[in-house]
Structure 1
């Protein structure tokens, strides 16, 4: 990528995170983000369709890095994993997810009672669901299904199991965020561990 384009992209990233921490991204204008980034409005549209689109891209890029780390951790234990190994992989993933939300707490806390704003809650839920669905598709033997389950049905189960966990993950994060500071840093990790069925952390076949 051209150095000037890289600098503009980084300026826009910083600008939208700063402004979205101060007001709902739905109320942000391209002109305001462009002005904070030190560019003109036309240049903003070379990078994103709207402030909401830009914010989603910025946060999704961070979540993609978390997914890549999870995938690498899974590959590192496949074939010789113990239950403890698998649980540690899950713990690192949930810890990284919590750290991401904490790093952008004012951005995510744009709803009443310390909840997550709807678009960003969906972003997190989809990230978890997509990550775990891909994991189950790669390791279908983890799922508690009959050995003869057709592939297309197993795929639907993988997506359903993963989506269930994704939406539950966001719900647990919302409960954690709703607690008055200082929040217990171990709360979300404990819920994520204890609420997950045992078969998720069975050593990968």
Structure 2
């Protein structure tokens, strides 16, 4: 038979495990700041964007989310500025970065969504945090992510290619790389 100390130790261990389990996020352990919502629309998660955040298989919300981003780029000149300067007064991450970037609209008629906002580095070098001037000892490079899009592709009705056989254009889901920001590298 187990002693009272052993039983108490077991209960304490279960309580501790239960508390630790509650600290785990979706992708494992959370850090102390992971529960705070971001003020930056680029960095914001579901907490600040609500139902407009695209979820798996929810193409309507994803398209709406992309349309909203395109609208923001078109209507906010601060997002399209191509100057190589850091503006700490603005809350947008692209203006505060040591490798600032602007946004442009990537337009493609054979793709849905037709317009996707895409980052473009504003500097060749990076901003030196001490002088706040561009330093060409470092290099600004684009950061890419892959997103699903529907592309108009030509599909043959049979496997064997035949002469004079016309293709049938259809939208197919493909994955494309889109620039989402810039970062500094040495070199």
TM-score (norm 2): 0.25
Which structure has the highest helix share of the two? 1
TM-score (norm 1): 0.23
- Return the structure number with greater relative CO, CA threshold 8 A, min gap 6: 1
Which structure has the highest strand share of the two? 2
